[in-house]
Amino acid sequence: MEEWDKLYPGWLKLALKIAYNIDDYRFRLGAVLVKGGSVIAKGRNRQSKHYNFEMFRGLHAEIAALRWVSPNVSRNSYLYVGRLRMDNTIGLALPCSNCMNMITRKRIKKIIYTTDTGGYKVLSL
């Protein structure tokens, strides 16, 4: 176990803080990419007002965090994803299949995401 494994909840708190600051209450997700105990990228969910189907889905927090990061940099990193519901309780932040594809391409080692019960789960890739 790496030294920064102990920091799971701390990095998740940062992801939730990013989510908390999103104005659009429908979809509040924050993502933080961590490697060697340092944040290398952050992202937040952005909904689009356009009606084109792809655009309507908006930009997911995970892709916002990862899109400009080289796989050589993100290799063996940890991705923390936190979701807040409209009432500020914690929600499920399991990445969708689209985001999972990018997460796999970026060679991320683990995903730590919040769950419906207010806790978190760790997914090793």
- Contacts with Zn ion by CB under 5 A lie at 60, 96, 99
Pairing type for strands 120-124 and 38-44 reads: unpaired
Smaller CB separation from Zn ion, 96 or 122: 96
DSSP state of 124: E
Least CB distance from residue 84 to Zn ion, whole Å?
Answer: 16
Quick one: 2 or 116, whose CB is closer to Zn ion? 116
DSSP-based three-state secondary structure for 86: coil
The nearest distance, CB 3 to Zn ion, in angstroms, is: 29
Smallest separation (angstroms) from Zn ion to the CB of 21: 19
E strand or H helix at 78, and its extent? strand 78-84
Specify the residue, 36 or 67, whose C-beta has the smaller distance to Zn ion.
Answer: 67
The alpha helices in 2-96, defined as continuous H runs, are 8-20, 53-56, 61-66, 71-74
